[in-house]
C-alpha cells in the first residue's frame, strides 16, 4: 500500500499525539542557525551539542541514510498544576517523557508497518542529534516563537516533540506563519536576559544565561552570579512560556504519566531526602537527570535565595554533605541568610 498521510494522522492520534505532520528528510534549512549558535558559544556547558554530533544535525539522513520523510509528532504535557513552580512543568509527572514518547511512537510505527508493509525507520525523542524544532516547524506543527519554543496556534507550547525517520516518501506539510507579531513578553520576562537578539531581527536563547541550563544541564559548582540569578528555580524554568499569550488557553492532558506528582514539593522535604529516597521518588522522572547531588545543590541555592531563616538547619545539614557542589552552595546560601537576618 502507498503510504498515505491520513493513515499516519489516525495512527498518531490513536498513539496519543495531539499534533502530527510530515517533513521531508533532507538538508535542514535552519542548520546554519544552529551552526552560528554553536560557534557563538551559546551551547555553554552542553557538549553534546558541540562535539562530533553537531554535524549530524545538518540532515536526518545522517542517522538513517535511507530516510525520505520525517513523521513529526507533539504530545501535550500541560496539566492544571500551579504556575511559578520551582520545578518545570515538563517534569511534574511520575514518568519520564522520553520513555512515554518512545513507547507511543513504537506503537504508532507498528500500526504503520502493518498498514504500509515493511520500511526502515528510526525513532528519535530529544536525545538524538536532530533539530527537532526545525523539523517540526517544517512539518507544520508550529512556528518558532521569540522564546525559541515551537508554538502551535490552538495548542500553545506545552508539548514534547518526537520524530520517526522513515524510508518512505510522504507529501510534506507546510510551515505555518509566525504569530508572535509585535509581542515581546517572553523577552521582557526572562529574569536573566537569556533571550538575545540574533542580529537579523530575530531572537535566540543564549544557553549560557538560561536558568534551565544551570539547573538541569550544568554539573558541579555554579558561579556565584548564577546562583543568585536562579531565584527559586530548582529544576528548569518556564517563565518565557508562562507569559506567552498562546499558552493562556493551552489544552491540558489527562495522561497519567504527566499528572502533577512533583509540581509543588516542599524544599525542606527535598533537602532531607536520602540518596535511596531520591532514587525511589525520581528514578523514573526527568528529575533523575540532575542526580542526587544536583538536586540538593539546586535546593540549597533556592533556599538561599528565599532568605527564609526556617531553612537554616536544613542548609547546615547540606553544608556537611560530601559532594563539593552541595556543600559550596549550602555555605553560600547560609551566608545569604545572614545577610537578611
Ligand atoms: C539543548 C536543549 C535545551 C537547552 C537550549 C535550548 C535552546 N533554546 O536552544 C536548554 C537546557 C536551555 C533547554 C531548555 C528547555 N527545553 Co530543551 N532542548 C534542547 C535540545 C536537546 C536541543 C535544542 C537545540 O538544538 N538548541 C540549539 C538551538 C539553536 O536550536 P533550537 O532552539 O532547537 O532552534 C532551532 C529552531 O528553533 C530554529 N530557529 C531558532 N531560532 C530561529 C530563528 C530563525 C530566524 C530561523 C529561521 C530559525 C530559528 O533553528 C534552530 C536550529 O535548528 C532539544 C531536543 C532536540 N534534539 O532538538 C530540547 C527541546 C528543544 N527542549 C524542550 C523543552 C520542553 C525545554 C524546556 C521547556 C524545559 C524546561 N522547562 O526547562 C526549556 C525551554 C527553554 C526555551 N525557551 O527554549 C522541547 C521543546 C518543545 C517545544 N514545544 O518547543 C525539546 C524539543 C525537547 C523535546 N523533544 O520535546 N533545552
Ligand atoms: S527558560 Fe527562563 S531563563 Fe531560560 S530563556 Fe526562558 S525565561 Fe529565560
Ligand atoms: S511571549 Fe510573545 S513574543 Fe514570546 S513567544 Fe509568546 S507570542 Fe512570541
Is 90 exceeded by the pLDDT of residue 339?
no
| Nearest protein CA to atom 61 of ligand 1, as residue | 133
Q: Ligand 1 centre and the CA of 178: distance in Å? A: 17
Mean per-residue pLDDT of the chain: 97
| pLDDT at 67 (0 to 100) | 98
Which residue has the least CA distance to atom 1 on ligand 3? 244
Q: Is 287 helix (H, G, I), strand (E, B) or coil?
A: helix
Cα–Cα distance, 8 to 231 (Å, whole number): 44
In this structure, which residue's CA is closest to atom 2 in ligand 2?
237
Lowest mean pLDDT among 147-151, 187-191, 281-285, 335-339: 335-339
Ligand nearest to the CA of 189: 2
Q: Which residues are near ligand 3 (CB < 6 Å)?
A: 145-147, 180, 183-186, 243-246
The ligand 3 atom at the shortest distance from the C-alpha of residue 145 is: 5
Q: Which atom of ligand 2 is nearest the CA belonging to 205?
A: 5
Ligand 1 centre distance from Cα of residue 144 (Å): 10
Backbone angles phi, psi at 88, to 5 degrees: -65, 145
Length, in residues, of the chain: 341
19 touches ligand 2 (CB under 6 Å): no
Per-residue pLDDT band at 187 (split at 50, 70, 90): very high
- Check residue 340 and give its pLDDT: 54
Q: Is the CB of 243 under 6 A from ligand 2?
A: no
* pLDDT at site 83: 87
Q: Cβ-count burial of 44 within 10 angstroms (0-12 exposed, 13-18 middle, 19+ buried)? A: middle
Q: Is the pLDDT of residue 200 over 70?
A: yes
pLDDT band at 227 (very low <50, low <70, confident <90, very high): very high
Catalytic residue annotation: 126
| Alpha helices, DSSP H, located in the chain | 5-14, 31-39, 97-116, 132-138, 185-189, 211-212, 224-229, 239-242, 267-271, 275-282, 291-306, 312-318, 324-340
Nearest Cα residue to atom 8 of ligand 2: 190
> Is the Cβ atom of 23 under 6 angstroms away from ligand 1?
no
**Could you tell me if the CB of 236 is within 6 A of ligand 1?**
yes
Q: What is the pLDDT of residues 295-320, one digit of tens each?
A: 999 999 999 999 999 999 999 999 99
How many A from CA of 90 to the centre of ligand 2?
Answer: 14
Ligand 2 touching residue 139 (CB < 6 A): no
Q: Sorting pLDDT into bands at 50, 70 and 90, what band is 3?
A: confident
User: pLDDT for 152-173, tens place per residue?
Assistant: 999 999 999 999 999 999 999 9
Domains (range + CATH), the chain? 5-166 (3.40.109), 192-236+265-340 (no CATH)
**Ligand 1 centroid to 148 CA: how many Å?**
6
For atom 2 of ligand 3, which residue has the closest CA?
Answer: 183
Collapsed DSSP state (helix, strand, coil) of residue 105 = helix
- Predicted confidence band at 11 (pLDDT cuts at 50, 70, 90)? very high
Q: Look at residue 183 and tell me whether its pLDDT is greater than 80.
A: yes
Closest residue to atom 16 of ligand 1, CA basis: 212
* Ligand 1 proximity of 85 Cβ (cutoff 6 Å): no
Query: Using a 6 Å cutoff on CB, does residue 212 contact ligand 1?
Result: yes
pLDDT of residue 96: 97
Percent of the chain having pLDDT more than 70?
Answer: 99
Residues β-bridged to residue 69:
24, 166
Check if 71 has its Cβ closer than 6 Å to any atom of ligand 1.
no
Predicted confidence (pLDDT) per residue in 45-85, tens digit:
999 999 999 999 999 999 999 999 999 999 999 999 998 99
Please give the Cα distance from 151 to 86 (Å, whole number).
23
Looking at residue 2, its pLDDT comes to 72
Please say if the pLDDT value at position 341 is more than 60: no
Average pLDDT in the 250-258 region? 98
Count other C-beta atoms under 10 Å from residue 7's C-beta. 16
Per-residue pLDDT tens for 210-221?
A: 999 999 999 999
How far is the centre of ligand 1, averaged over its atoms, from the C-alpha of 329 (Å)?
28
**Weakest-pLDDT range from 65-69, 111-115, 234-238, 335-339:** 335-339
Amino acid at each position: 500500500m502507498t503510504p498515505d498521510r491520513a493513515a499516519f494522522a489516525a495512527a498518531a492520534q490513536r498513539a496519543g499525539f495531539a499534533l502530527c505532520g510530515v517533513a521531508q528528510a533532507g538538508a535542514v534549512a535552519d542548520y546554519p542557525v544552529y551552526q552560528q549558535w554553536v560557534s557563538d558559544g551559546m551551547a555553554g556547558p552542553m557538549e553534546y551539542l558541540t562535539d562530533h554530533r553537531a554535524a549530524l544535525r545538518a540532515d536526518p539522513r545522517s542517522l538513517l541514510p535511507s530516510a525520505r520523510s520525517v513523521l513529526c509528532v507533539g504530545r501535550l504535557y500541560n496539566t492544571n498544576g500551579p504556575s511559578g513552580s520551582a520545578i518545570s512543568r515538563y517534569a511534574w509527572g511520575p514518568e519520564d517523557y522520553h520513555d512515554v514518547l518512545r513507547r507511543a511512537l513504537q506503537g504508532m510505527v507498528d500500526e504503520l508497518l502493518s498498514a504500509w508493509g515493511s520500511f526502515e525507520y528510526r525513532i528519535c525523542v530529544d536525545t538524538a542529534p536532530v533539530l527537532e524544532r526545525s523539523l517540526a516547524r517544517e512539518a507544520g506543527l508550529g512556528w518558532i516563537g521569540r522564546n525559541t519554543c515551537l508554538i502551535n496556534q490552538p495548542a500553545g507550547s506545552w508539548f514534547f516533540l518526537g520524530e520517526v525517520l522513515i524510508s518512505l516518501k510522504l507529501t510534506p506539510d507546510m510551515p505555518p506563519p509566525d504569530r508572535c507579531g509585535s509581542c515581546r513578553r517572553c523577552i521582557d520576562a526572562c529574569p536573566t536576559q537569556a533571550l538575545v537578539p540574533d542580529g537579523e531581527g530575530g531572537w535566540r536563547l543564549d544557553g549560557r544565561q538560561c536558568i534551565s541550563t544551570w539547573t538541569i544541564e550544568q554539573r558541579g559548582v555554579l558561579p556565584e552570579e548564577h546562583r543568585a540569578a536562579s531565584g527559586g528555580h530548582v529544576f528548569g524554568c518556564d517563565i518565557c512560556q508562562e507569559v506567552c499569550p498562546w499558552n493562556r488557553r493551552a489544552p491540558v492532558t489527562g495522561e497519567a504519566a504527566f499528572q502533577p506528582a512533583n509540581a509543588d514539593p516542599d524544599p525542606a522535604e527535598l533537602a532531607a531526602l536520602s540518596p535511596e529516597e531520591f532514587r525511589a521518588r525520581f528514578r523514573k522522572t526527568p528529575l533523575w537527570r540532575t542526580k542526587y547531588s544536583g538536586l540538593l545543590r539546586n535546593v540549597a541555592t533556592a533556599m538561599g535565595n528565599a532568605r527564609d531563616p526556617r531553612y537554616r538547619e536544613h542548609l547546615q545539614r547540606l553544608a556537611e554533605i560530601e559532594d563539593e557542589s552541595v556543600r559550596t552552595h549550602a555555605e553560600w546560601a547560609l551566608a545569604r541568610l545572614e545577610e537578611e537576618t
